[in-house]
Amino acid sequence: MNLFADIRALVLTNLAAMVEAGELPADLATQNVTVEPPRDAAHGDMATNAAMVLAKPAKMKPRDIAEVLAKRLAEDDRITSAEVAGPGFLNLRLAPVVWQGVVGAVLEAGTDFGRSDLGAGKKVNVEYVSANPTGPLHVGHTRGAVFGDALASLLDFSGHDVTREYYINDGGAQVDVLARSVYLRYLEAHGQEVAFEDGTYPGDYLIGVGEQLKAKVGDALVGKGEQFWLAEVREFATDAMMDLIRDDLSALGVKMDVFYSEKSLYGTGRIEAALDDLRSKGLIYEGVLEPPKGKKPEGWEPREQTLFKSTDHGDDVDRPVMKSDGAWTYFAPDIAYHYDKIQRGFDALIDVLGADHGGYVKRMKAAVSALSDGKVPLDIKLTQLVKLFKDGQEFKMSKRAGTFVTLRDVVDEVGPGVTRFMMLTRKNDAMFDFDLDAALEQSKENPVFYVQYAHARVTSVLRKANEAGVAVDHATLAGADLSKLDHEAELALAAKLAEWPRLVETAARTNEPHRVAFYLYDLAGVFHGLWNRGNELPELRFLQDDTATSQAKIALARASAVVIAAGLGILGVEPAEELR
């Protein structure tokens, strides 16, 4: 149920009736007609721009159209008043029974309230995290993980068939570096003195891996040349790193459907197949790139390479897929990987990447556009940097990794729920200063607490009602006489709940899960507002002398908790039953 969609349908029906009655010309385009909550509540419950949108094509004055439409709409039981305002807005006030009905609908649907079929079962692949398997996840990955996971849940909630996927970059030079680093730790485990030079990973997290390797192979690899051990150690080390990463993800509550290995693209003809596809479209050629202007890279010299003609699909320059020495660039397996996603039948692809991959967006979109003949849209969401603050200072050091703050550091500080919620209190493409102390504070300043507190208050009301002998089981509340909810403050809370389905659709359409977090904060604010007014107006308290009245009010509270739980569910946060 989506109240705004219902009322919009009502508006469209009446517009059609006006055409029928000769009050409007036929064949008017109505797709721009909207029904939305007005910014200023004084304007009413809902507003439609229908008259203004149609005025020009109908060659009529907006206010004239609005007058007629108002008269017709007012005949519907759900509408108590329809007033023309401003340049031609039509402000609608809805009957209390409509808002009361929202409460009933929430209780009936439970946390499925707001689920929509917007996605129509479309298969969407959301790729996120995809950190190199060379160490533990750090803060930047954490933001990507939270964002991607919440986005996936949001799309699922809005009717998409979602696959959560992690691309393991286990095919490039960085895993050789990893293997060499682990080998050094392995020698160390055998009591040798080793030096970590530039180009190796010195982090402590590899010590254990070196010891495990020793436990597995003994001294079989000691003193051998790289050609004897590189492949074996590489596999051992990347497996160990992926275990580490999986543990990190699960500490955050992220669960992937698919882990896709880059390595599996090599030697299997899949890269070649993807490039053949592009070649057959005339998009692969041998050529020489111009040097970047302004700044001349040192030692730049013109070189012939195999290039993808990405400029045909909106990129600024063509991109190399093969280096001059005949090896693939990193771009080639990425093309093959996305080719594979397309062949797996996804209707839409989403990549969640760190902002440092910004330069990569156009070429990847170009590749997907070319490979799918423009049929599969690829949306790339970039997550900006996160700066952590603790005790008023930037929080930089990690006990584990030595050089960067890990996901574990953050989760250990504030817990997975707070981490997830806080990471979504900012748009993905805005930088984020994350204050760890503020995230644990119990005040209105802290959005996580504020939302959780609202949920906990409802739990507390239910408990108190039980103690007072008022039945508040699900069936009783669902059958409560909601017409007793007649105060403006109560109806306002119900109206806020009515926005939830609409918000889900907007957030899903824009791939912006942060909107859910902001909505929850808003909703909690309205709930707390009602609660607080109970201080001065005893009739607004949830527990009343009259059982039926209590049950109606508690139904409203319960409905609020249900929507909060649904929203937190999308964000991957457990709702709190009580706060201590």
Q: How far is the CB of 175 from RNA (least distance, A)?
A: 9
Q: Say which amino acid occupies 565.
A: A
**Residue 247 Cβ, how far from RNA at the closest point, in Å?**
21
Q: Which is nearer to RNA, 277 or 490 (CB)?
A: 490
Closest CB 361 distance from RNA, rounded Å: 6
Alpha-carbon distance 412 to 196, whole Å? Answer: 29
Q: How far is CA 199 from the centre of its chain?
A: 35
Query: Measured from the CB atom, is 182 or 213 closer to RNA?
Result: 182
Residue 474 CB neighbour total at 10 angstroms? 11
Closest approach, Cβ 148 to RNA, in A, equals: 17
Q: Which is nearer to RNA, 222 or 543 (CB)?
A: 543
Collapsed DSSP state (helix, strand, coil) of residue 27 = coil
Copy the structure tokens of residue 531: 């609660």
CB of 573 to RNA, least distance (A): 18
Residue type, 443: S
Report the nearest approach of RNA to the CB of residue 216 (Å): 26
Burial pattern 366-380, b for ≥16 Cβ within 10 A else e, equals bbbbbbbeeebebbb
Rounded distance between C-alpha atoms, residue 515 and residue 560, angstroms = 17
In this structure, are residues 499 and 99 in contact, taking their beta carbons and an 8 Å threshold? Answer: no
Token pair in block for residue 196: 């970590």
Least Å distance, CB 97 to RNA, is 22
Residue number, 10 or 187, with CB nearest to RNA: 10
Starting at the edge strand found earlier in the chain, the sheet holding 46-48 runs 35-36, 46-48, 89-94, 79-85
Task: Tell me whether residue 22 or residue 297 sits nearer to RNA (CB atom).
Answer: 297
The nearer residue to RNA, 301 or 373, going by C-beta atoms, is 301
Smallest distance from the beta carbon of 228 to RNA, in angstroms? 23
Tell me whether residue 99 or residue 531 sits nearer to RNA (CB atom): 531
Q: Vertex 168, ends 382 and 128: CA angle to 5°? A: 30
Count the neighbouring beta carbons within 10 Å of the beta carbon of residue 257: 12
Residues 6+ apart with CB under 8 A from 324: 303, 304, 305
CB-wise, 229 or 500, nearer to RNA?
Answer: 500
DSSP code of residue 311: G
Query: Among 531, 507, 510, which residue's Cα sits nearest to residue 519?
Result: 507
Q: Residues in the chain, how many?
A: 580
User: 3-class SS at 464?
Assistant: helix
- In the complex, least distance from residue 492 CB atom to RNA, rounded to whole angstroms: 12
**Least distance in Å: CB of 308 to RNA?**
12
Burial string for 347-358 (b: 16+ CB within 10 Å, else e) reads: bbbbbbbbeeee
C-beta closer to RNA: residue 113 or 527: 527
CA distances from 108 to 111, 300, 462, 476, 521 (A): 9, 67, 18, 11, 24
Q: How far is the CB of 95 from RNA (least distance, A)?
A: 18
Walk across the sheet containing 319-322 and list its strands: 284-288, 304-308, 319-322
- Supply the minimum distance, in Å, between the C-beta of residue 132 and RNA: 5
- Tokens in use for 359? 């330069």
Whose Cβ is closer to RNA: residue 205's or residue 542's? 542
Secondary structure (DSSP) of 477-540: HHTS-GGG--SHHHHHHHHHHHTHHHHHHHHHHHT-THHHHHHHHHHHHHHHHHHHHHHH-GGG
Residue placing its CB nearer to RNA in the complex, 50 or 182: 50
Residue closer to RNA (CB basis): 35 or 107: 35
The SS3 call for residue 559 is helix
Q: Which is nearer to RNA, 86 or 269 (CB)?
A: 86
Q: What share of the chain is helix, strand, coil (3-state, %, to 5)?
A: 55, 15, 35
In angstroms, what is the minimal distance from the CB of 191 to RNA?
32
Largest CA distance in the chain: 94
| Cβ atoms 519, 128 nearer than 8 A | no
